[in-house]
Chain A
Amino acid sequence: MNSAQLLLAAPEFWVLVMACVIMIVDLFLREERRGIIHMLAMLTVIFAAIITLRGDFLANGLPSASAFNDSFIRDPMGDVLKVFSFVLMGLIYTYSKFYLRNFKMFRADFYTLSLFALLGVMLLISANSMLMMYLGLELISLSVYALVAFNRESGRGSESAMKYFVLGSMASGMLLYGMSMIYGATGSLLIPDIAEAIRVQGSDDILLIFGLVFVVVGIAFKFGVVPFHMWIPDVYEGAPPAVTLFISSVPKLAAFAMAYRFLSSGLGDLHIHWESMLASLAILSIILGNLAAIMQKNIKRMLAYSTISHMGFVLLGLLPGTAFGFGAAMYYVIVYGIMSVAAFAMIILLSSRGVEAETLDDFKGLNQRNPYYAAIMGLVLFSMAGVPPMVGFFAKLMVLKAVVEAGMIWLAVSAVVFAVIGAFYYLRVVKYMYFDEPENETSITAPVDFGAALTLNGIMIIGLGIFSSSLITICMTSFGV
C-alpha cells in the first residue's frame, strides 16, 4: 500500500486525531474556558469538509478508488454523504452549545463522543467489507449509547439508553449472524468479491437468502423502520435534545450508504428477494409512523414517529434497485437530515432556562412570542409535510417517481395517501403557533451563532427547494444518472 492510498482516508485520520486532541486538551482547560473545545470541534468539522472536497472526487466525477486491501472505498456518493454529515455536524454543534450551556452539561465528553460517532459514520459510509461495516456501526452505536445517557441526573435518559443498548446489541447480533451466513455462502468479506461469487454460483441459494434476511433486519433497525422501530420514540424522548439532534440526522446518512453498498453493490443479484422485504418494511413504516404521530402530545415523540415514516420513504427509494432510485433515496436522506436538525433546534430554542419544551402546547402562540423563529419552524413543518416549494416536496417527488418508474403504482399511491394523512399533524403545530394564545408570554432570545445557524438552516430548506436541481443533480451524478 502506498501513500496515495493512505491519503484516501485523510478525512477519517483528521477526525480521529482531532477527537483525541480535544480529549487531551480538555484535561488542561479550566471550567470557564470550555468554549475552546467548541471552537476546536467546529474547526475539526470544517477542515474535514475541506479535506474531503480537496479529494477531487466530487468535481471530476472519478469512479472510485479503494485502499487498505479493498476494505475502504472512496467514491463520489461517499464524499457527498460525508460533506453533508460535516455540514449537519456543524449545525448540531452550534445548536447544542446553547442547550448544553443552559442545562449545565457543557462538558468535553459530548464533543469527543460525538466526534467518534462521526468517525464511525465516515467509516461506515466508506466501508467496502462486511468487517468494516460492522466496526463502523459499532463505533456509532457505542458512542450514541453513552451520549443518550449523557445527562446523568435524568432517570429517563438512563432508561432509554439501556433500552437502546439492549435492542441495539440484539440488532448487531442479527447483522453479524447474517454476515456469517453470507460469508459462508460466498467465502469473502469484501463486498465486490461477494458480488462476484454470487454472479458465478447463482443467486438461488437458500443460505444466501437466509443471510440476507438477517442483514435486512440489521439495516432496518439502523434506519428504525417498522417493525424494528420500538427504540426510536423512547430514545428521542429520553435523550437530551442535543443528542437527539445527532441521532436523528447524521447516522441515517451512514445507514443509507450501508444499505446501498450491502444490498446493491454486494447482493445486487438478490434484488428480487430484498425488493419485497423492503417494500413491506417501507409501507408499514409509512402507515404506522403517520398514524401514530397524530396521537402524540409530546413533540419529541411526534417527531420520532415522523422519522419512522420518513425512513419508510427512504426505503421506497432503495427498493427499485435502479440508479435513479438510489439517487432519490440519497437525496431524501440528506434532505431529511437538514429538516430534522432544524426541528430539534426549535425544541432547544423553546427549552431555555432549565425547563425542556416537550409538549405541543409549548408551541402555542409562538408567532406572538417571536415571529421570526415561528416562520422558520413553519418552513420546517411545511417541508416535512411535503408542501412545494420546500425541499421536502422534491424529496418525496423523486422517490415516488423512482417507485412509479419501477412499476409499483400501488406502493406509490398508498405512500401518498398516508403522507397526506401525515400532513395533519405537521399543520396542527402550525395552527398552534399562529392561531393559539401563548401559555407563556416570555419572549424568546437566542445567541447570535444559534440564530445565524437556524437562519442558514431555514435558507437551506427553502433554497434547496426553489433551486432543487442543484442537490438533485449532485445526488444523481453520484450514481451515474
Chain B
Amino acid sequence: MIVQELIFYAFSLVMVFAAVAVITVRNPVYAVLFLVLAFFSAAAIWMLLEAEFLAIILVVVYVGAVMVLFLFVVMMLDINLVPLKEGFIRYLPVAAIVAVAMAIELLMVLWSRGRFGVDMFPVPPPHSADYSNTRELGELLYSNYLLPFEVAGVVLLVAIIAAVALTLRTRPGIKVQNPSVQVRTRRDASVRLVKMKSEKPRGA
C-alpha cells in the first residue's frame, strides 16, 4: 500500500508540475514536451487504477502519434509570441475577476457537505489476475454504447471531409506524371527514323 501511495504521489506531483509548465514556459516546443510528460504521468496513474488499456492507449495514441504531429506543427510554424501577448495587460483585470469568481464557486462546490472527501469513496476491491480491462471496455463499447461509438466515427469522418474541403485546391494545368501512360508508351512515340545520306568528311 505504501509503495502504491508513493508511486501515486510521485506521478501526481510530476503531472501537476508539467501541466503548470505547459502554460507558463515561453518556448512552445518546451510546452509540447511538458504536455507529453503530463500525459505520461497520467498514464502511470491510470495504470495504478487498473485501467491498463486506457493507459497504453494514452501513451501510444497521444504521446506516440498526436503529440509528435503536434511537435512537427509547432516546429514548422514560425510562431511569433509578441502579437499573442498583446492586450494581455489590458484584459487582465476582467479576466482575473472572472477567473477568481469561478475558482471560488468551484471551491464552494468541492467543499459542499464533503461530497468529494476520501471517506466518501471506499477503496475498490482489486480485480483478479484474469480480468481483462480491454475486453470489458470492448464489450461495453459494442453493446451499451454502440450508437455513440458509431456516431463518434461519423464525427471523425466529417472532420476529414471538412479538412479536405477547406484545404484541397485543384489547380488547372499542372504537369503530372501518369505512370500507366508512361509504361504503355510505344517505340514510335519517341523514336523517329530519318533517312538521310551519309555525310562526307568536310574538306575532302
Contacting pair A135 B158 (CB below 8 A): no
Query: Does B194 belong to the interface (CB within 8 Å)?
Result: no
Chain B 110-121: CB-based contact to A (< 8 A → 1; otherwise 0): 001001000000
Contacting pair A139 B158 (CB below 8 A): yes
Contacting pair A138 B162 (CB below 8 A): no
Segment 142-193 of B: residues with Cβ below 8 Å from A: 143-148, 151-152, 154-155, 157-159, 161-162, 165-166, 169
Interface bin, chain A = 20 to 34
Query: Does A83 belong to the interface (CB within 8 Å)?
Result: no
Contacting pair A139 B165 (CB below 8 A): no
Q: How far, in angstroms, from A143 to B112 measured CA to CA in the complex?
A: 40
Query: Does A104 belong to the interface (CB within 8 Å)?
Result: no
Q: How far, in angstroms, from A71 to B152 measured CA to CA in the complex?
A: 14
Q: How far, in angstroms, from A206 to B116 measured CA to CA in the complex?
A: 13
Contacting pair B109 A207 (CB below 8 A): yes
Chain B 45-81: CB-based contact to A (< 8 A → 1; otherwise 0): 0000000000000000000000000000000000000
Query: Does B108 belong to the interface (CB within 8 Å)?
Result: yes
Q: How far, in angstroms, from A123 to B157 measured CA to CA in the complex?
A: 16
Contacting pair B155 A139 (CB below 8 A): yes
Contacting pair A68 B147 (CB below 8 A): yes
Given contacts A116-B154, A135-B148, contact A210 B105 (CB under 8 A): yes
The one of A23, A71, A119, A149 that contacts B161, using a Cβ cutoff of 8 Å: A23
Query: Does A312 belong to the interface (CB within 8 Å)?
Result: no
Contacting pair A113 B165 (CB below 8 A): yes
Q: How far is the CB of A239 from chain B (nearest CB, A)?
A: 14
Please report the number of residue pairs spanning A and B whose Cβ atoms sit closer than 8 angstroms.
70
Chain A residues within an 8 Å CB radius of B105 = 210
Chain A residues within an 8 Å CB radius of B108 = 206
Query: Does A317 belong to the interface (CB within 8 Å)?
Result: no
Contacting pair A69 B143 (CB below 8 A): yes
Given contacts A113-B162, A152-B166, A206-B109, contact A135 B151 (CB under 8 A): yes
Chain B 86-116: CB-based contact to A (< 8 A → 1; otherwise 0): 0000000000000000000100110010010
Query: Does A168 belong to the interface (CB within 8 Å)?
Result: no
Query: Does A109 belong to the interface (CB within 8 Å)?
Result: yes
Segment 156-174 of A: residues with Cβ below 8 Å from B: none
Segment 66-88 of A: residues with Cβ below 8 Å from B: 67-69, 71-72
Q: How far, in angstroms, from A67 to B143 measured CA to CA in the complex?
A: 12
Contacting pair A132 B109 (CB below 8 A): no
Using CB atoms, name the residue of chain B closest to A149.
Answer: B166
Q: How far, in angstroms, from A320 to B109 measured CA to CA in the complex?
A: 28
Q: How far, in angstroms, from A343 to B115 measured CA to CA in the complex?
A: 52
Contacting pair B148 A132 (CB below 8 A): yes
Given contacts A113-B161, A142-B162, A146-B166, contact A123 B109 (CB under 8 A): no
Chain B residues within an 8 Å CB radius of A109 = 161, 165
Using CB atoms, name the residue of chain A closest to B146.
Answer: A68
Q: How far is the CB of A48 from chain B (nearest CB, A)?
A: 16
Chain B residues within an 8 Å CB radius of A68 = 146-147
Q: How far, in angstroms, from A69 to B158 measured CA to CA in the complex?
A: 25
Contacting pair A69 B144 (CB below 8 A): yes
Query: Does A16 belong to the interface (CB within 8 Å)?
Result: yes
Q: How far, in angstroms, from A107 to B170 measured CA to CA in the complex?
A: 13
Q: How far is the CB of A240 from chain B (nearest CB, A)?
A: 13
Query: Does A136 belong to the interface (CB within 8 Å)?
Result: yes
Contacting pair A146 B162 (CB below 8 A): yes
Chain B residues within an 8 Å CB radius of A106 = none
Contacting pair A143 B162 (CB below 8 A): yes
Chain B residues within an 8 Å CB radius of A150 = 165
Query: Does A62 belong to the interface (CB within 8 Å)?
Result: no
Using CB atoms, name the residue of chain B closest to A185.
Answer: B115
Query: Does A96 belong to the interface (CB within 8 Å)?
Result: no
Chain B residues within an 8 Å CB radius of A129 = 148
Which of A9, A23, A207 has the largest number of chain B CB atoms within 10 A?
A207
Given contacts A68-B147, A71-B147, A207-B115, contact A145 B155 (CB under 8 A): no
Chain A 105-129: CB-based contact to B (< 8 A → 1; otherwise 0): 0010100110010010001000001
Contacting pair A135 B161 (CB below 8 A): no
Using CB atoms, name the residue of chain A closest to B113.
Answer: A206
Given contacts A16-B154, A69-B143, A207-B109, contact A116 B161 (CB under 8 A): yes
Q: How far is the CB of B152 from chain A (nearest CB, A)?
A: 6
Given contacts A149-B166, A152-B166, A207-B109, contact A142 B144 (CB under 8 A): no
> What residues of chain B have their CB less than 8 Å away from a CB belonging to chain A?
105, 108-109, 112, 115, 143-148, 151-152, 154-155, 157-159, 161-162, 165-166, 169
> What residues of chain A have their CB less than 8 Å away from a CB belonging to chain B?
1, 9, 16, 23, 67-69, 71-72, 107, 109, 112-113, 116, 119, 123, 129, 131-132, 135-136, 138-139, 142-143, 145-146, 149-150, 152, 181, 206-207, 210
Given contacts A67-B147, A146-B165, 13 further A-B contacts (CB under 8 A): A69-B145, A69-B146, A116-B154, A116-B158, A116-B161, A131-B145, A132-B151, A135-B151, A136-B151, A146-B166, A150-B165, A152-B169, A210-B109
- CB<8 Å pairs between A and B, sample of 9: A9-B147, A69-B145, A109-B161, A132-B147, A142-B155, A143-B162, A146-B161, A146-B166, A206-B109
The 4 closest A-B pairs by CB, nearest first: A146-B162, A68-B147, A109-B165, A135-B151
